[in-house]
């Protein structure tokens, strides 16, 4: 066992000393923070406005469609037909959209208006247009019945639905928490991939260097494989710790630089009160403020890091050991493709299933994907972020998935150990799946 | 009484998926000797060596190390230089030499001291902080040799230790091997280079088609394969020579250089060299008569092709 320690130490220290590790430790967090800042900046500055040409066949909506600085409406000449207006729309570069309101629009409750575009309008623009048309129709109708607009405005409501777990009223903001889970799942995905592939590369390196025979004359091949997997896994955890430290320092520095008075310790109590009232805030700056409040006080970072460590280690050990087997079976990296595909598919699949899991975290598919060991590291991370305990993911589900992860890891390392033992000493022909099956059997 | 053999292999069988690499192999390797392990490519030598290193486990049979079943604790008693050898290309030479020595059970301090001694001896101390990718193949091989013997094992297994070395370095390594033998190290030398077998091996075994076909002292093996072959250099007519005696011998080859002729002849059991000489001595003038001793090359070829 002393020897496996030596191997772990070598794998760890040679990698941590590498330039690429140091660069990744600094660049990774910078990229993440930069990317987040960039998206915030983009959403904040999404000020593209629309020049909209309206064809109002029944001539009923003028003055009723709300105009504002983002959506600038222009009424088409009455004497032109719809077809002629289309020509005008095409030839005028300034115009972005053509809104066609057919004359029968007000007659029933489910008619279709048309919106012709040159470049497709954003979903929020489409929503906005639908809502102002609905409003215009309503205004037209109340006028007909003889209700004053003022009265109409007074009965018009805009309700926010706060979805709250009866057993756990604290568990609010589920969707936002889900996105935090998404980010964690994504980091797990990157880390599993990055470090499992390093295991494979390390094995191929030792095999092509031909040093492997010297080493396995001193240690058991299984110890060499495990030492490598554990050593590289520790590098991954180190990297993650550095990232967390750098990211939180950076974020805190940015927050503190922007709102120095809010984040001093004396004002901590005061800030808690602000969260309580945060639902009422709509102003843009205050909205960002609300997000930082959410990030700082509503996410259980302790749990997130703990489960990140567990699911990263579990997933990494499974994928890492299988990658070690692949590395031992081939002679050079270009031969690995064929064997890597079955491993990458479940990872990419789980990543692509996350939106569905966020949409309904207690669905059957969410349950199974968070239990199956090849997908659970990513999916369970999302479910955990959305809340543990009553209403959220149950503790027994977490324990079961961890248990399955461990069982699978043991089976995978057992099989990989067998492949590794034979593969590492064979040079020449690239083995087929059948050859590998035979290695496992012997 | 100390045991005579460091290694005893009893009835070793090893098969791969569809072929047998070793067939009921029995072999004794005497202590303190240099033992040549010979055989054509694919004969099963590497399998045998890997079994000794516990990289492979035999299907059946017993391996004894100093009379006890070979086990993990013997790993530190064995030094192994594989034929397919290499080092980490990106790791500093000193660092990886210490790493490999520690895998063989040396402490960091011991490893450093011993490495300093050998690096000094081979005059390569300035390589300590270099990487393998900066060295030539022959240089890397020197490092590998040092790493193999560093922990002073009782048994040293060297697979083609001279391949890729220039004559100077080859001689250097040979000298070290002989030094090690003087310090009671047993050395198994697996090689195709029959000259070095002749030069430094005390005993040898030939493995062919998964079977051991020959085993013994190198000198005995040569005697065993010697036939009644003689070389005669003489002056005079070759006609006279060939007409001398009718039966009991055959001419293997004949050549001439200036006026000196050389004949290689093989005598039957019925004829002695004295008898033969009596028949020709008056017709030619003899310069030299000597018995042809086979080289290990001859032994190897005869053993592996006549089988």
> What's the CA gap between B22 and B49, in Å, rounded?
11
Q: Are residues A334 and A241 in the same domain?
A: yes
pLDDT of residue A325: 94
Contact A210 B102 (CB under 8 A): no
User: Residue B144 and residue A214: Cβ atoms within 8 Å?
Assistant: yes
Contact check, Cβ <8 Å, A217/B80: yes
What whole-number percentage of chain A has pLDDT above 90? 31
Q: What is the mean pLDDT of residues A274-302?
A: 56
Predicted pLDDT at A169: 59
Name the pTM for this structure: 0.77
Distance CA B156, CA B212 (A): 21
Beginning with the edge strand found earlier in the chain, give each strand of the sheet holding B229-235 in spatial order. B249-257, B260-267, B229-235, B285-291
Binned at pLDDT 50, 70 and 90, residue B292 comes out as confident
Residue A41 in domain: no
Do A290 and A343 reside in the same domain of the chain? yes
The total number of structural domains that make up chain A:
2
**How many angstroms separate the CA of residue A440 from the nearest CA in chain B?**
12
First to last CA, chain B: 39
Listed residues A88, A121, A155: the one ending a domain: A155
Range in A35-39, A350-354, B18-22 the model is least confident about: A35-39
Nearest beta carbon to residue B17 from set A14, A205, A438: A438
Interior CA angle at A94 toward A89 and A98, to 5°? Answer: 35
Q: How far apart are CA A145 and CA A129, in angstroms?
A: 25
- Would you call B100 an interface residue with chain A, using a CB distance cutoff of 8 Å? yes
What pLDDT, on the 0 to 100 scale, is given for residue B117? 94
Concatenate the DSSP letters of all residues of A242-283 into one string: HHHHHHHHHHHHHHHHH-TTTTSGGGHHHHHHHHHTGGG--S
- Contact across the interface for A213 and B87, Cβ inside 8 Å: no
Q: Give yes or no: residues A254 and A313 share one domain.
A: yes
Residue linked to tokens 């005061």? A270
User: Which residues of chain A neighbour B86 with C-beta distances below 8 Å?
Assistant: 209-211, 214
- Please, which residues bridge with residue B250 across strands? B266
Q: Are residues A192 and A315 in contact, defined by beta-carbon separation less than 8 angstroms?
A: yes
Residue B232 burial by Cβ neighbours in a 10 Å radius (0-12, 13-18, 19+): buried
Residues A175 and A300: beta-carbon distance below 8 Å: no
Q: Is the pLDDT of residue A416 over 80?
A: yes
Distance from CA of B105 to the nearest CA of A (A): 8
Cβ neighbours around A399 below 10 Å, total:
10
Tokens of B75: 């790993």
* Min Cα separation A216/chain B (Å): 6
Task: Name the residue in chain B with its Cα closest to that of A222.
Answer: B55
Rounded CA separation A170/A165 (Å): 8
Q: Hey, is the C-beta of A345 within 8 angstroms of any chain B C-beta?
A: no
Q: Please name every residue paired with B264 in a beta bridge, in sequence order, or none if there are none.
A: B231, B253
pLDDT at position A281, please? Answer: 37
- Nearest CA to CA, how far is B292 from chain A (Å)? 42
**Reported confidence tier of residue A276, pLDDT bands at 50, 70, 90:** very low
From the list A14, A218, A442, which residue is nearest B91 (CB)?
A14
The SS3 of residue B60 is strand
Question: Which band of pLDDT confidence, cut at 50, 70 and 90, is reported for residue A165?
Answer: low
**Residues in B touching A425 (Cβ below 8 Å):** 50, 55
Tokens read off for B239: 């006609």
Q: A64: which residues sit within 8 A by CB, 6+ positions away? A: A135, A136, A139, A140
Angle at A72 between CA A70 and CA A75, to 5 degrees: 165
What's the CA gap between A2 and B73, in Å, rounded?
13
A280 in a structural domain: yes
DSSP string computed for B233-248: EEES-HHHHHHS--SS
Q: How far apart are CA B57 and CA B42, in angstroms?
A: 18
At A95 the pLDDT is 85
A217, A221, A331: best mutation site toward chain B, by most B Cβ within 10 Å?
Answer: A217
Q: What is the SS3 assignment for B152?
A: coil
Integer-rounded Cα Rg, in Å, for chain A is 30
User: Do B248 and B267 touch, CB atoms closer than 8 A?
Assistant: yes
Average of per-residue pLDDT across A344-364? 90
Most confident of A93-102, A103-112, A341-350: A341-350
Q: Lowest mean pLDDT: which of A217-226, A283-292, B178-187, B250-259? A: A283-292
The verdict on A215 touching B (C-beta cutoff 8 Å) is yes
* CB atoms B144 and A438 under 8 Å: no
> How far is it, in rounded angstroms, from Cα A415 to Cα A54?
68
Residue by residue, DSSP assigns A19-74 as: HHHHHHHHHHHHHHHHHHHHHHHHHHT----EEEEEEETT---TTTSPP-SSEEEE
Taking residues A310-333, what's their average pLDDT? 92
Mean pLDDT of the residues in chain B: 88
Segment A355-362 long-range contacts (CB within 8 Å, at least 24 positions apart)? A357/A382, A357/A383, A358/A175, A358/A178, A358/A179, A358/A181, A358/A182, A358/A382, A358/A386, A361/A174, A361/A178, A361/A386, A361/A392, A361/A393
Q: Are residues A243 and A295 in the same domain?
A: yes
Identify which has the larger pLDDT, B153 or A112: B153
Nearest beta carbon to residue A214 from set B54, B82, B89: B82
- Distance between CA A271 and CA A293 in Å, rounded? 8
Phi, psi of B62 (to 5 degrees): -130, 140
DSSP characters over B95-141: HHHHHHHHHTT--HHHHHHHHHHHHHHTT-GGGTT-BGGGS-HHHHH
CB B38 within 8 A of CB B88: no
Token readout for B106 is 């040396």
Q: A271 and A199: one domain?
A: yes
Backbone angles phi, psi at A23, to 5 degrees: -60, -45
Residues of B whose CB is below 8 A from A205: 88-89
List of domains in chain B: 5-223 (3.40.50.300), 227-291 (3.30.70)
Q: Domain check: are A104 and A25 in the same one?
A: no
Domain end among A155, A181, A215: A155
Q: What is the mean pLDDT of residues A244-263?
A: 71
Residue B30's pLDDT is what? 94
- Average pLDDT value for residue range A366-391: 89
**Quick check: A218 and B75 CB within 8 A?**
yes
Same domain, A215 and A304: yes
A3 interfacial to chain B (CB closer than 8 Å): yes
CA distance A339 to chain B (A): 22
Task: State whether A315 and A338 are in the same domain.
Answer: yes
* Residue linked to tokens 């079961």: A400
Q: Quick one: what percent of chain A has pLDDT higher than 70?
A: 84
Instruction: Tell me the percentage of chain B whose pLDDT exceeds 90.
Output: 46
Q: Is residue A96 part of a domain?
A: yes
Mean pLDDT of chain A: 82
Residue of A nearest to B101 (CA): A218
Asked if residue A302 belongs to a domain, the reply is yes
Q: What is the spatial distance between Cα A15 and Cα A187, in angstroms, rounded to a whole number? A: 20
Please list the residues that pair with B211 across neighbouring strands: B208
Under 8 Å between Cβ of A388 and A398: yes
What are the pLDDT digits (tens) for B115-155? 999 999 988 999 999 998 888 888 888 999 999 999 999 99
**Residue of A338 and B183 predicted with greater confidence:** B183
The pLDDT confidence band at residue A45, using thresholds 50, 70 and 90, is low
Q: Rounded to 5, what percent of chain B is helix, strand, coil?
A: 35, 30, 35
Assess A214–B contact: CB distance below 8 Å, yes or no: yes
Residue A94 CB-density burial (10 A; 0-12 exposed, 13-18 middle, 19+ buried)? exposed
Nearest CA in chain B to A220: B55
- ipTM over the 0.90 cut-off: no
Tell me the pLDDT band of A280, cut-offs 50, 70 and 90. Answer: very low
**Chain B: residue nearest A424 by CA?**
B55
Task: Tell me the CATH number at A140.
Answer: 3.40.190.10
pLDDT tens column, B1-35: 466 899 999 999 998 877 888 999 999 999 999 99
- The answer to whether A205 contacts B80, with C-beta atoms less than 8 Å apart, is no
Q: Is residue A162 part of a domain?
A: no
Is there a single domain that holds both residue A149 and residue A178?
no
The mean per-residue pLDDT over the stretch B240-256 comes to 75
Domain holding A409, by residue range, is 2-30+169-441
| For residues B40-53, average pLDDT | 91
Quickly state the pLDDT bin for A291 (edges 50, 70, 90).
low
Q: How many CB pairs under 8 A join A and B?
A: 59
Q: Can you say whether residue B242 is alpha, beta or left, with left for phi > 0 and alpha for psi between -120 and 50 degrees?
A: alpha
Closest residue by Cα to residue A233 from A66, A251, A241: A241
- pLDDT on residue A288: 56
Q: Is residue A364 a contact partner of residue A338, using CB atoms and an 8 Å limit?
A: no
Q: What is the pLDDT of residue B220?
A: 87
Tell which wins on pLDDT, B114 or B294: B114
B131 Cβ under 8 Å from any chain A Cβ: no
Q: Which of A6, A210, A214 to mutate to test the interface with B (most CBs of B within 10 A)?
A: A214
B91 touches chain A (CB under 8 A): yes
Mean pLDDT computed over A392-414: 93
Q: What is the CA radius of gyration of chain B?
A: 25
- Chain A: give the shortest CA distance to residue B189, in Å: 16
Largest CA distance in chain B: 77
Does one domain contain both A355 and A390? yes
Lowest mean pLDDT among A55-64, A327-336, A360-369: A55-64
Put simply, whether B54 touches A (Cβ < 8 Å) is yes
- Residue with structure tokens 């700082």? A296
- Of the three residues A131, A155, A179, the one that is the final residue of a domain is A155
- State whether residue B90 sits within 8 Å of chain A by CB: yes
Q: Are residues A433 and A378 in the same domain?
A: yes
Q: What is the pLDDT of residues A218-247, one digit of tens each?
A: 999 999 999 999 999 999 999 989 988 888
Measured at the alpha carbon of residue A329, what is the angle toward residues A325 and A335, in degrees to the nearest 5?
110
Host H or E run for residue B266: strand B260-267
Quick check: A247 and A33 in contact, CB under 8 A? yes
More reliable by pLDDT, A323 or A122: A323
Q: Which of B22, B61, B24, B26 is closest to B210 using CA atoms?
A: B22
- Among A13-27, A219-233, A377-391, the range of highest mean pLDDT: A219-233
pLDDT given at position A360: 85
Q: Is residue A35 part of a domain?
A: no
Contacts of A324 (CB under 8 A, 6+ apart): A199, A200, A203, A225, A228, A229, A416, A420
Report if residue A40 sits inside a domain. no
| pLDDT at position A399 | 94
Select from A5, A208, A211, A435 the residue whose CB has the most chain B CBs within 10 Å, as the one to mutate to test that interface: A211
Residue A312 shares a structural domain with residue A411: yes
Q: What is the pLDDT of residue B146?
A: 94
Residue A273 has pLDDT above 60, yes or no: no
Contact B84/B105 with Cβ under 8 angstroms? no
| Residue A223 maps to a domain | yes
For the segment B100-120, the average pLDDT, to the nearest whole number, is 93
Cβ–Cβ under 8 Å, residues A308 and A320:
no
Q: What pLDDT does residue A414 have?
A: 94
**At residue B208, does pLDDT exceed 60?**
yes
């Amino acid at each position: 066992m002393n020897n496996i320690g030596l191997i772990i130490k070598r794998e760890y220290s040679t990698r941590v000393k590498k330039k690429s590790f140091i660069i990744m430790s600094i660049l990774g967090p910078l990229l993440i923070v930069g990317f987040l800042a960039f998206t915030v900046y983009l959403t904040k500055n999404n000020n593209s406005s629309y020049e909209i040409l309206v064809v109002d066949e029944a001539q009923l909506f003028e003055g009723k469609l709300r105009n504002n600085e983002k959506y600038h409406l222009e009424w088409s000449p009455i004497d032109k037909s719809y077809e002629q207006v289309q020509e005008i729309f095409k030839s005028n570069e300034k115009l972005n959209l053509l809104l066609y309101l057919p004359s029968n629009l007000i007659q029933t409750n489910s008619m279709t208006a048309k919106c012709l575009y040159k470049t497709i309008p954003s979903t929020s623009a489409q929503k906005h247009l639908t809502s102002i048309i609905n409003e215009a129709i309503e205004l037209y109708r109340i006028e007909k019945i003889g209700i004053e607009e003022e009265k109409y405005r007074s009965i018009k409501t805009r309700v926010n639905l706060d979805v709250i777990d009866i057993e756990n009223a604290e568990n609010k903001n589920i969707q936002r928490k889900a996105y935090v889970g998404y980010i964690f799942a994504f980091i797990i995905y990157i880390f599993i991939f990055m470090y499992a592939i390093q295991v494979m590369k390390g094995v191929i390196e030792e095999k092509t260097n031909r040093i492997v025979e010297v080493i396995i004359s001193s240690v058991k091949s299984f110890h060499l494989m495990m030492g490598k997997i554990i050593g590289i896994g520790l590098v991954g955890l180190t990297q993650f710790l550095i990232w967390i430290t750098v990211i939180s320092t950076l974020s805190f520095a940015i927050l503190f630089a922007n709102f120095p008075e809010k984040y001093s310790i004396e004002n901590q109590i005061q800030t808690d009160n602000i969260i309580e009232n945060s639902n009422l805030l709509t102003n843009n700056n205050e909205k960002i403020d609300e997000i930082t409040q959410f990030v700082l006080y509503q996410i259980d970072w302790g749990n997130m890091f703990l489960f990140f460590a567990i699911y990263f280690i579990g997933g990494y050990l499974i994928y890492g050991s299988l990658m070690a087997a692949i590395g031992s079976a081939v002679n050079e990296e270009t031969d690995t493709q064929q064997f890597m595909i079955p491993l990458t598919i479940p990872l990419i699949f789980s990543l692509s299933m996350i939106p569905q899991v966020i949409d309904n975290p207690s669905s059957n598919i969410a349950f199974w994907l968070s239990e199956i060991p090849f997908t659970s590291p990513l999916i369970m991370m999302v479910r955990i972020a959305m809340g543990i305990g009553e209403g959220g993911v149950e503790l027994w589900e977490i324990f079961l998935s961890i248990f399955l992860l461990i069982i699978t890891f043991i089976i995978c390392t057992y099989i990989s150990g067998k492949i590794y033992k034979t593969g590492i000493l064979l040079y020449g022909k690239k083995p087929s799946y059948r050859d590998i099956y035979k290695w496992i059997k012997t | 009484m100390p045991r005579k053999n460091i290694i005893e292999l009893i009835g070793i069988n090893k098969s791969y998926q569809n072929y047998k690499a070793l067939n009921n192999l029995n072999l004794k390797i005497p202590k303190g000797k240099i033992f040549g392990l010979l055989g054509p490519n694919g004969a099963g030598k590497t399998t045998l060596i890997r079994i000794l290193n516990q990289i492979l486990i035999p299907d059946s049979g017993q391996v004894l190390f100093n009379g006890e079943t070979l086990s993990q604790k013997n790993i530190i008693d064995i030094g192994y230089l594989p034929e397919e050898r290499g080092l980490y290309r990106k790791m500093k030479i000193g660092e990886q030499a210490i790493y490999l020595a520690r895998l063989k059970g040396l402490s960091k301090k011991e490893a450093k001291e011993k490495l300093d001694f050998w690096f000094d001896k081979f005059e390569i101390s300035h390589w300590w902080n270099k990487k393998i990718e900066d060295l030539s193949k022959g240089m890397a091989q020197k490092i590998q040799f040092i790493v193999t013997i560093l922990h002073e094992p009782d048994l040293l297994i060297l697979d083609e230790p001279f391949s890729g070395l220039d004559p100077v370095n080859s001689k250097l390594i040979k000298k070290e091997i002989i030094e090690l033998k003087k310090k009671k190290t047993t050395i198994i030398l697996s090689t195709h280079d029959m000259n070095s077998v002749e030069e430094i091996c005390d005993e040898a075994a030939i493995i062919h088609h998964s079977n051991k076909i020959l085993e013994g002292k190198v000198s005995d093996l040569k005697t065993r394969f010697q036939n009644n072959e003689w070389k005669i250099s003489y002056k005079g007519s070759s006609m006279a020579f060939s007409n001398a005696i009718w039966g009991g011998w055959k001419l293997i080859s004949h050549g001439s250089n200036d006026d000196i002729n050389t004949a290689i002849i093989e005598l039957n059991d019925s004829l002695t060299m004295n008898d033969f000489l009596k028949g020709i001595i008056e017709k030619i003038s003899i310069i030299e008569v000597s018995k042809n001793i086979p080289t290990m090359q001859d032994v190897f070829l005869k053993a592996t092709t006549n089988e």
